[in-house]
Structure 1
Amino acid sequence: MLQVKDLSAGYGRMTVLRDVSLHVEPGQLSLLLGPNGAGKTTLLSTMAGLIKPQSGTVEAENDVISGWTPERVARHGVRLVMQGHRVFPETSVEDNIRLGQISVPRKQRRPEREIFDEAFGVFDILGQKRRQPARDLSGGQQQMLALVQAWVARPKYMLCDEPSMGLALSLVPEILAFLKRRTAEGMGVLLVEQSIDQPLRFADRVMVMRHGEIGFDRDIADVEGVEQITQQMLGQASAGSSTNDVR
């Protein structure tokens, strides 16, 4: 299990996360919702080792990983897919996928042919453009590439920061279905989003972040519907303005 316990973190003297606790089960997709400024990206960055916590812990498979370097966190099986289609633009699609295995010890790396067959079998458009630089891909195709790049390392947990941001609506179900299929393989997914309707259909657990705190956390079976989540989101937005510019 991937667990966050009483986690506080921020930037310099500014605290963004305040005693956040949550967990991500293997084989489940946990959806974290909240508007801009709620602290969602700060949470994922802290879990991935990009930000050192002020207090509290992040644990993966009973090991305390908070304070580790991002490289060590990735080697331990926790991979972050950052917001904004983060790929290597001048590098070919194939080489971007190869780079996904950097965190995997050489003796444990799978044959390239196996990886490419797997990746291009999931997103065939990437196979059609396998030797083109990533900059030539559309935003949606770059997002597919970023997800595949993280997946080929076979992480135990994947942290995804708004993968649907800026994509055509027609592509969003394909991205979400890809993540849901990974949970069928036993991977735990923590998906951060602002939109509700489409991600909610794929979620096993739903949380809402409010001003750096988790204000709602339920299994999908206990969620009454989109309206209940919308009220949580609106309640967060109308609960008063903050002077902190959190992320």
Structure 2
Amino acid sequence: MLQVEGLSAGYDRMTVLRDVSLELQPGQLVLLLGPNGAGKTTLLSTVAGLVKPKGGSVSAGGTRIDGWAPERVARHGVRLVMQGHRVFPETTVEDNIRLGQINLPRGRRRPETEIFDEAFDVFGILGEKRKQPARDLSGGQQQMLALVQAWVARPDFMLCDEPSMGLALALVPEILTFLKRRTDDGMGVLLVEQSIDQPLRFADRVLVMRQGEIRFAEDRADVTGVEQLAQEMLGGAAVGPSASGPQ
């Protein structure tokens, strides 16, 4: 389980996150919604080790990882897919995929033929362009490549920061289906989005963040609809101090 308890974080003297708590179970897709400036990216960056926490704790598989360097967090099985199609543009598709295992000890790296077969079976268009530099891919294809690059390391948890941003609407279900299938394999996914409708269909649990705090937390089955979530994003009632449910 990935567990965040009482997390506070920010930049210099500015505090962005305030007493944030949540849980992500293996095989679960948790959708984290919120307006711009709510603290969603800061939360993912703090869990992944890019931002140092000011208080609270982060644990993965029962081990505290808050304060660890990003590469150590990644080796421990928590991978961040950052916003904005973050790939190496001058490097080929194949080499971008290879880089997904670079932080792993040699004994945990899988054969390249195996990871290529997996990647190109899921996203066939990447196989067609495997020898091309990533800069030649469309925005949607670069997002597919960024997701695959994180996935080939077989993480326990994947943190995805608005993977649908800037994509054609027709590509969004393909990205979301990929993530949902990873949960079927036992991986936990924390998915940050601003849009509601399509991601909601794939979520097991829904959180809404506003002003650095989790203000709403429900299983998807208990969410009455998009209108309810839109209201929560604009300023609904809080559900209590923790997003992990009853203590």
The aligned residue for residue 57 of structure 1 is: 57
Report the counterpart of residue 5 of structure 1 in structure 2: 5
Task: Give 3-state SS (helix, strand or coil) of 1:91's partner.
Answer: coil
Cα drift, residue 202 of structure 1:
0.1
Q: Structure 1: which amino acid aligns with 2:164?
A: S
What's 2:240 paired with?
none
Tell me the secondary structure at the aligned position of residue 232 of structure 2: helix
Match of 2:167 in 1: 167
The CA distance in 1 between the partners of 2:112 and 2:63, in whole Å, is 31
1:62-101 to structure 2, matched below 5 A, reads 62-101=62-101
Residue in structure 2 matched with residue 220 of structure 1 by the alignment: 220
Partner of 1:19: 19
Matches within 5 A, 1:136-175: 136-175=136-175
1:129 is aligned with what amino acid? K
Q: Does the alignment pair 1:110 with 2:106?
A: no
1:177: which partner in 2? 177
1:227 Cα deviation after fit:
1.3
Distance 2:8 2:220 in 1: 26
* In 1, Cα distance between equivalents of 2:112 and 2:59: 31
CA deviation string 1:36-77 (max 9, x = no partner) = 100000000000000110000011011000000000000000
CA deviation after TM superposition for structure 1 residue 96, in Å:
0.1
**Is 1:48 aligned with 2:36?**
no
State the distance in 2 between where 1:78 and 1:16 align: 22
Q: Distance in 1 between matches of 2:128 and 2:139?
A: 16
Matched position secondary structure for 1:229: helix
Match of 1:131, SS state, is coil
SS at match of 1:170: helix
Q: Which amino acid aligns with 1:112?
A: E
1:194-224 Cα deviation digits (max 9, x unpaired): 0000000000000000100000011111111
Equivalent-residue separation in structure 1 for 2:9 and 2:107 (angstroms):
36
TM-score (norm: length of structure 2):
0.95
2:229 corresponds to 1:229: yes
Percent identical:
81
Match of 1:198 in 2: 198
TM-score, with normalisation over the residues of structure 1?
Answer: 0.95
- 2:29 equivalent in structure 1: 29
C-alpha RMSD over aligned residues: 0.6
Q: Tell me the alpha carbon deviations over residues 97-148 of structure 1, each in whole angstroms, 9 at most, x when there is no partner.
A: 0000012211111111111010000000000000000000000000000000
Distance (whole Å) between structure 1 residues aligned to residue 36 and residue 131 of structure 2: 36
Matched length:
236
Using the alignment, how far apart are the partners of 2:109 and 2:14 within structure 1? 41
Distance (Å, rounded) in 2 between the aligned partners of 1:108 and 1:192: 29
Poorly superposed stretches of 4+, deviation over 2 Å: none
